[in-house]
Structure 1
Amino acid sequence: MNSLPALGHGTPYPLGATFKNGGVNFALFSAHAQKVELCLFDSAEGGQETRIELPECTNQIWHGFVPGLAPGQLYGYRVHGPYEPEKGHRFNPHKLLLDPYAKAIGRPLKAWDPCLFGYDLEDDSQDLSFNEQDSATHAPLGMVIDSTFDWEGDASPETPWHRTIIYELHVKGFTQKLNSLPEHLRGTYAGLASDEAMDYLRKLGVTAVELLPIHHHLDDSFLQARGLTNYWGYNTLSYFAFEPSYASTQDPHAAMREFKGMVKRLHEAGIEVILDVVYNHTAESSERGPTLSFRGIDNASYYRLSQEHPRYYEDFTGCGNTLTMENPSGLRLLMDSLRYWVTEMHVDGFRFDLASALARELFGWNKLSSFFDAIGQDPVLSTVKLIAEPWDIGMGGYQVGNFPTGWAEWNGRYRDEVRRCWKGNDRANELSKRLSGSADLYNHSGRGPHASVNFITAHDGFCLRDLVSYNDKHNEANLEESRDGANDNESWNCGHEGETDDANIQSLRLRQAKNLMATLFLSQGVPMMLAGDERWHTQQGNNNAYCQDNDISWLSWELDSTAEEMATFTRELIALRQEQPVLSRKNFLTGQALEEGQPKDVIWWNPEGREMSDDDWDAGFTRCFGMWLPGRALREIGRDHQPRTSDSVFVLINAHYEDVHFTMPAPDEGPWHLRLTTGPLKPDKRARKALRFPVSSRSLAVFISKRATD
């Protein structure tokens, strides 16, 4: 590297590497460091390393300004301080460290090597020893980035919560098999932004994509040893840098523009971008993990350490460590990262993985934690969509329904109870609570139905087709002898595994899948569907495909007749939900009239032709009932920016194993029309004169009564 002009003191803010005034300002937080060296590299292959001691430390932030540097510069840090694992300090200047605020990865981790560890792997004392191997040949490098991009007036669609439909997808898996794309665009940010992908999402009718982690992550060493990868990406190393492997180009600047272009294109289609983010732990794992970034910069400030034995980590994630939000440095990192993705990358919201871990303080989970306070008062973050996975693996970590106002939650109760009801293992009164928006979970905190993100399946667990097809997991491809993944499925009475030649079994499986999908879109709250469920995708019984970067996870774009049928049915469901505002209310269904002279907002109907009574709900295992949503009840509360009216909707559910002759209510306006059904009947536009309707076992039907023109 050429000789550099005299080093300036620079400024402590902003943290990271900032190109300005003909040079780059570097700023790195470390409360316990004794010296910090900036390391500049000529090339991604390594080349000459130039070490520059940062001259200033202001409020525990080490900083300096290097004139003459420009975007594209590769860099890392060496941080000097005590190596005292038993006191929580693991400084080792022999280890090159990635800047936690690096906006791009100039060189990913080359390969797992003993030099990446701060201790001697072969030493009997394990992590108490001190390793002097230099890790610069293998460690990841940050890159100084120029974030310039022409957004051309881009703006968030700002879809109201009650109109939101979320589609959870993996950037690579969604288009990897889209053969109409040029090969280099498949499985990339550009692939997701392609005309083909945009056209598909628009026709499907979803309003938001929830992307599995796109922060830069590492493939675990044990997976690489098996020839596998961390396909899902829940192993974050950098909270500011995007994952470069999902870009169609190796140039980080071009890759950043590709990501931003993807966001802009989705916004043009009216689709919001929600990121699945993993702030609960990092890829550095337990005390026996590598020293790549946070551990070597300031272990005691970034991680939750055992109070009794600071050598060890408090692990509420099952991944070896937990980032601390009790220390201002950890909370600042999270907040700065979130704001960066909103302001610089234009994303519309976040789904927080194992969010309960972020709200843990000294005495456990705390609804009044600094984490919630910081986000709740932030003028940027308090306005975007915030979704919690409301649990972790620690004691008291299951917090469904307990997150504060402003948050939505993955409703695990919804998933479990809807599944049980359609299996015939639960009473219908449990299903009625979930159809109504889960007020029993969320109404006490002043939130509405949108606090409940309803889902049947997600990336973690069986996909929809496998859920109704397999009684047991089949995770052999993960090379863990199927010990991984929860074994939480039961028989769906859809036949035995492997009986693919039995048309009746296949028909029943498809019907149950349709029942579950229909329930999702007919429930109050925010529906979230897993990409591929609408295409009859199978993971071959693998319910933990986190390491399967192959056909097990990649979605097929060549659909057979069953997949086409399921896709068409899903599109019709989404269109129905968007057409009829009574299916996406702002308020919970209460069974009460909104005002005098108005009908109840929901009427539960008995198959005998009368309103359900308390005795009906309590009588054994009630598995057949109707949900009547009068359209007139929407006049005062169902409006967006434009006035909206709704027809009356009657949903008939039969989770029983026998057919039922159902007496429907007399419509209060136009006659009932069969809009869709999962049973053998075909919907038509003809009015039904008879109110007696034969509903098949394990099926669902939706009827519409058209409103008179006002």
Structure 2
Amino acid sequence: MKISIPEPTLGQDMTLDPGVPLGSTLTEQGCHFRVHAPDSQQLFVALFGDNGQIIETFPMSRQPNGDWYLYIPSLQADSAYSFYQINPATQATQARQWLLDPHAHNVLQRHQFSHHQTSSEKITAGNDAPEWVSLTTRHHFDWQTRTHPETPLSNTVISEIHIKGYTRQHPAIPPEQRGTYLGLCHPAILADFKENNITCLQLMPIATKVDESHLKTKSLTNYWGYNPLAWSAPDRRFAIADPVKECKTMIRTLHAHGIEVILDVVYNHTAEEGDGGPIYHFKALDQQTYLHHQNGGLKNFTGCGNTVDLSHPPALEAVLQSLRHWVLNYQVDGFRFDLAATLGRQDDRFCKNAAFFRAINNDPVLSQVKLIAEPWDIGPNGYQLGHFPGHWHECNDTFRDTWRSYWLHRATNAEIASLLLGSQERFPAWNWPEKMSVNYICYHDGFTLQDLVSYGEKHNRDNGEDNRDGHPDNRSNNHGIEGQSNAPAIIKKREQQKRNLMTSLLFSFGIPHLLGADLHAHSQLGNNNAYCQDNAISWVNWEGQVQSGDFRQYCQSLLTLRQTIMPAFTQALSAQTQSVEIQWLDHRGANLSEQTWAENSPFACLIRIPCEESLMYIFNSGELPVRFALPDSHWRCLTDTADSRVLTKILRQTATYVRPHSMMILHRAPD
């Protein structure tokens, strides 16, 4: 992101140039500082030396719009700085109130300072020292002419990954790289992604976070990272030395292997919690960044104590600048927005034409990347599935819940039929690929796939909340024994249901989202809210590959078939000029009756692209095998979930047996 800004002279009247971004901006001649702080009476920039001591302070100049500005000539990259103001409540003692730059591109905590600098001395400024400092950052990086993979949405398979948890226990990765940015692009991990036909990683938050107050009192940490301190600074906990360089290296390497990177981003709240919570920056700089109760308190549409108000122009500018920063300086391919309904609120109402959505749509950079919404928050009318604007894809929890019910409990044929064809009541096919359902069975919040078939209840006592936390409606089934079991019959049931759920996900229309740990049959021991478990509960167990080998091979084969078969059918369903025949059949080959739609008896879906190819899904969630009539002969069976491996075979007869608790997918080409 090249900045072209006239360079003033330190000491002259500091009039803000309109091209100066928020935060610190390095040029060849010096560094510009800008922050929106209408609540401040005086604002200063402090610079720190190698030992963490203040070496110089500069007053900032207030602008008519509430911005503060400063230019320091000759300032170099990696210079440590912080904002501060004199706390009005303690002005008599001249105590500084330290404020982290909320727009910083690189940050250090106090105990990390001596490890970053060349000096071994620690900060020695006593109590008058900031907990966090920012570093001026230059974004020169050799991208080696790498370009974005630009995978079509019909071919996109998303795998949700936690950078630390995915690689922390991998035996082939050098110990110093495990759990880091560089670990995630290690050849052993790249081979894993390629084997599984993963085209896109959705990284759980990598922006710098802090732990909530209630976790600190229990000596726990926010492992997931949904408590952002600095939206634009890659978290140092995933770095060996330099988070900026190592994060870029990771993305460059993933792109070189055809893998896109989507960031899970949190712009709905900050780590400052609610009324009475910590003050890091916005609370002191600009209270209007937040929505307010009528009594002046902070509104809480996020469950985290505060809510960022993107109808407030400075807050909107801050978020847009952060998003552009990740795209331009880190080359990311898209974003998944946590609690995205909050971002579209005007006052208390969600609006698909809100300022944030309009700004994204009109931005020449941000309008070109993949955008995924978590389409709800906890505010009034917070559930907005299907109501986001065009070019936004949405996480579909109805897909998750209904497929779980169908295979593990009970759901009707009509309920899953809609999901199979892409939830078109909310995501019509004529809007594909611009707007599609993001389908998933498991996400980071909730049971893993292994636990979904192994536990009937959540087991979250390690979280220190007496098992009160976590979603109570999991629609799981332990198949006879709670938790791990060595009983062959129970293991067989569980493995078959895992295959049913994974096959239903990968061969439904939409964008499939996989929990990366599920491909390794990872168990969290029944914890369905492991947000504070930075330990083996959350870390993928790579040593367990022998036990999960059959399921891994099944998923790998299924993903290969999906990438081969599904794109053409997705294109056919979305095309306005091509007719596609869809039939719903019972086991005799007759059209489904009204009564059968309301049951969960065996049924089939037949999709024909005239003069081209056909795809047939056959479902039997019942206890008995069913002889199913086929409309034609000579089908290729892509998969039968009653088998532990994908064994494609030719069916030349006009009927086939479908075993209990299983599904088959058949394919027929003209030749």
TM-score by length of 1: 0.86
Label 1:685 to 1:17 Cα distance change in 2 as closer, same or farther (>3 A). Answer: closer
The answer to whether the 8 A contact 1:466-1:541 is kept is: yes
Aligned position for 1:114: none
Q: Secondary structure of 1:703's match? A: strand
1:284 to 257, 272, 276: 272
The answer to whether the 8 A contact 2:409-2:475 is kept is: no
Q: Give distance in 2, aligned partners of 1:582 and 1:180.
A: 35
Unpaired runs of at least 5, structure 2: 1-8, 114-124
Aligned position for 2:106: 104
Q: Secondary structure of 2:603's match? A: strand
Label 1:476 to 1:363 Cα distance change in 2 as closer, same or farther (>3 A). Answer: closer
TM-superposed CA distance for 1:109, in Å, is 7.5
Label 1:261 to 1:493 Cα distance change in 2 as closer, same or farther (>3 A). Answer: closer
Q: Secondary structure of 1:344's match? A: helix
The answer to whether the 8 A contact 2:554-2:646 is kept is: no
Aligned length: 646
Aligned position for 1:161: 153
TM-superposed CA distance for 1:541, in Å, is 0.1
1:470 to 455, 464, 468: 455
Amino acid in the other structure paired with 1:309: N
Aligned position for 1:235: 227
Aligned counterparts, 1:174-185, within 5 A: 174-185=166-177
Aligned position for 1:651: 617
Amino acid in the other structure paired with 2:108: G
The answer to whether the 8 A contact 1:650-1:703 is kept is: yes
Q: Does 1:72 align with 2:50?
A: no
TM-superposed CA distance for 1:16, in Å, is 1.4
Q: Does 1:40 align with 2:20?
A: no
TM-superposed CA distance for 1:134, in Å, is 8.9
Amino acid in the other structure paired with 2:606: W
Aligned position for 1:616: 596
Q: RMSD between aligned alpha carbons?
A: 2.5
The answer to whether the 8 A contact 1:16-1:102 is kept is: yes
TM-superposed CA distance for 1:7, in Å, is 3.9
Amino acid in the other structure paired with 2:33: F
Q: Give distance in 1, aligned partners of 2:430 and 2:381.
A: 19
Aligned position for 2:68: 62
Label 1:460 to 1:396 Cα distance change in 2 as closer, same or farther (>3 A). Answer: same
Amino acid in the other structure paired with 1:700: M
Label 1:110 to 1:623 Cα distance change in 2 as closer, same or farther (>3 A). Answer: farther
Q: Secondary structure of 2:401's match? A: helix
Q: Give distance in 1, aligned partners of 2:230 and 2:206.
A: 10
TM-superposed CA distance for 1:32, in Å, is 3.1
Q: Does 1:627 align with 2:627?
A: no
Aligned counterparts, 1:516-595, within 5 A: 516-581=501-566, 585-586=570-571, 588=573
* Residues 93-129 of structure 1 deviation map (CA, whole Å, 9 limit, x = unaligned): 7321111111101336789xxxxxxxxxxxxxxxxxx
Q: Give distance in 2, aligned partners of 1:277 and 1:684.
A: 40
The answer to whether the 8 A contact 1:405-1:445 is kept is: no
Aligned position for 1:201: 193
Q: Give distance in 2, aligned partners of 1:445 and 1:601.
A: 16
1:504 to 451, 468, 489: 489
Amino acid in the other structure paired with 1:71: A
Structure 1 stretch displaced more, 656-665 or 145-154? 656-665
Q: Give distance in 1, aligned partners of 2:274 and 2:126.
A: 21
Label 1:236 to 1:651 Cα distance change in 2 as closer, same or farther (>3 A). Answer: same
Aligned position for 1:513: 498
Q: Give distance in 1, aligned partners of 2:569 and 2:547.
A: 28
1:697 to 650, 660, 665: 660
Aligned position for 1:678: 641
Aligned counterparts, 1:92-491, within 5 A: 94-107=96-109, 136-249=128-241, 254-300=242-288, 302-306=289-293, 308-310=294-296, 312-443=297-428, 446=431, 450-490=435-475
The answer to whether the 8 A contact 1:661-1:694 is kept is: yes
Q: Secondary structure of 1:674's match? A: strand
Label 1:283 to 1:530 Cα distance change in 2 as closer, same or farther (>3 A). Answer: same
Amino acid in the other structure paired with 1:192: L
Q: Give distance in 2, aligned partners of 1:359 and 1:134.
A: 43
Percent sequence identity over aligned pairs:
35
TM-superposed CA distance for 1:35, in Å, is 1.8
The answer to whether the 8 A contact 1:654-1:695 is kept is: yes
* Residues 2-40 of structure 1 deviation map (CA, whole Å, 9 limit, x = unaligned): xxx954537441221122243221111122322211111
Q: Does 1:688 align with 2:651?
A: yes
Label 1:502 to 1:676 Cα distance change in 2 as closer, same or farther (>3 A). Answer: same
TM-superposed CA distance for 1:50, in Å, is 2.6
Label 1:685 to 1:393 Cα distance change in 2 as closer, same or farther (>3 A). Answer: closer
Q: Give distance in 2, aligned partners of 1:520 and 1:248.
A: 36
Q: Give distance in 1, aligned partners of 2:86 and 2:312.
A: 21
Amino acid in the other structure paired with 1:701: M
Aligned position for 2:36: 29
Q: Secondary structure of 2:542's match? A: coil
* Residues 634-654 of structure 1 deviation map (CA, whole Å, 9 limit, x = unaligned): x6xxxxxxxxxxx43222111
Structure 1 stretch displaced more, 232-241 or 565-574? 565-574
The answer to whether the 8 A contact 2:431-2:574 is kept is: no
Structure 1 stretch displaced more, 159-168 or 446-455? 446-455
Q: Secondary structure of 1:578's match? A: helix
Q: Give distance in 2, aligned partners of 1:219 and 1:507.
A: 41
Aligned position for 1:638: none
Q: Secondary structure of 1:439's match? A: coil
The answer to whether the 8 A contact 1:630-1:648 is kept is: yes
TM-superposed CA distance for 1:538, in Å, is 0.3
